Amino acid sequence: MAGEDGAGQDEEAVADGLVERTVEGTRERLAALDDLAVHEHVAVFDDLHRELSGVLAALDRDEPGAR
């Protein structure tokens, strides 16, 4: 059982790292909107939506008992 706890902690660390990188990248991309014309914002929002949805789905798949 100790091995499972270690593996669970490793998976949690990987998930935490993914979340941290995703949030930081999202913040940077949203901050960069100031340098874009308003009509270009939609493409950024669409891309971020796809990316965030994918990350959430991946985290949901990896979480035991997640629904």
Rounded mean pLDDT of 40-62? 93
pLDDT digits (tens, 9 = 90+) for 46-55: 999 999 999 9
Which residues in 1-67 belong to E strands, given as ranges? none
Q: Is the per-residue pLDDT at 10 higher than 50? A: yes
Cα(30)–Cα(58) distance, rounded to whole angstroms?
22
Cα(32)–Cα(28) distance, rounded to whole angstroms?
6
∠ CA(50), CA(56), CA(58), 5° rounding?
100
Residue the block writes with tokens 């998976």: 11
